[in-house]
Amino acid sequence: MAYVISDECIQCGACADACPCSAISEGDGKYVIDADVCADCGSCAEVCPVGAPQEG
């Protein structure tokens, strides 16, 4: 199942830079993950300083 970004997101962009699928984009107030593109690899969660990306 694809990852989702929680409201803990501080919009640092680390997750988007780390995503090998380019599934993460800047949304309204936080980054968002396109579930249709997400490979469920966890790269975003590994680099996030606040743990915002979580398994959906």
* CA nearest neighbour of 42 among 54, 27, 30: 54
Q: What is the CATH number of the domain that holds 31?
A: 3.30.70.20
32: left (phi over 0), alpha (psi -120 to 50) or beta: beta
What digits encode the pLDDT tens for the residues 3-54? 999 999 999 999 999 999 999 999 999 999 999 999 999 999 999 999 999 9
Beta bridge partners of 50: none
Q: How many domains does the chain have?
A: 1
Would you say residue 1 has pLDDT above 90? Answer: no
pLDDT at 38: 98
Structure tokens at 27: 């949304």
Phi, psi at 3, each rounded to 5°:
-75, 155
Query: Range of 46's domain?
Result: 3-55
For the full predicted model, state whether its pTM sits above 0.85. Answer: yes
Phi and psi at residue 17, in whole multiples of 5°?
Answer: -65, -35
